[in-house]
Amino acid sequence: MALAVYLVVAWRLAHLVRLGRTHPDLSACELFSEEEWKGAYLLAKQTPPDTPPNLRQVIRQIARLGGFLGRKCDGEPGVKTLWLGFARLRDFVRGVEHMRSIYEK
């Protein structure tokens, strides 16, 4: 069962890496929820933009949460740093959703 879940997660991350490299100007709303892309900025202690950023910007924000440094010579982030960053982001988004459910009662 765990292997099936890991395969789906690995496929999504590999797909994101590929789309981020082939279609970097695609809107982040196409692949991420609003909570996810805004959460990536909040975890990086940056103010989220008013309009949805492009895919490349969000992927780099998430990869920075996983250890990607983003220096000029580093190139684009890979699957591993995206995976580590996405794990932190999902925990954050779940926490925000849980807090919303508590305070909406």
pLDDT of residue 2: 85
Token digits of residue 90:
């999902």
Question: Is 41 a residue whose pLDDT tops 90?
Answer: yes
Instruction: State the pLDDT confidence band at 60, using cuts at 50, 70 and 90.
Output: very high
State whether residue 23 is helix, strand or coil: coil
- In this predicted structure, the answer to whether residue 70 has a pLDDT above a threshold of 90 is no
Other residues' Cβ atoms within 10 Å of the Cβ of residue 37: 25
Domain that holds residue 6: 2-103
- Rg of the Cα trace of the chain? 14
User: Any idea what the CATH number is for the domain that residue 29 is in?
Assistant: 1.10.740.10
Integer Cα distance of 60 and 78 in angstroms: 10
Q: Is it the case that residue 40 has pLDDT exceeding 80? A: yes
Q: How many domains does the chain have?
A: 1
Convert the pLDDT of each residue in 18-37 to its tens digit.
999 999 999 999 999 999 99
The arithmetic mean of pLDDT across residues 72-101, rounded, is: 92
Torsions phi, psi for 91 (to 5 deg): -60, -40
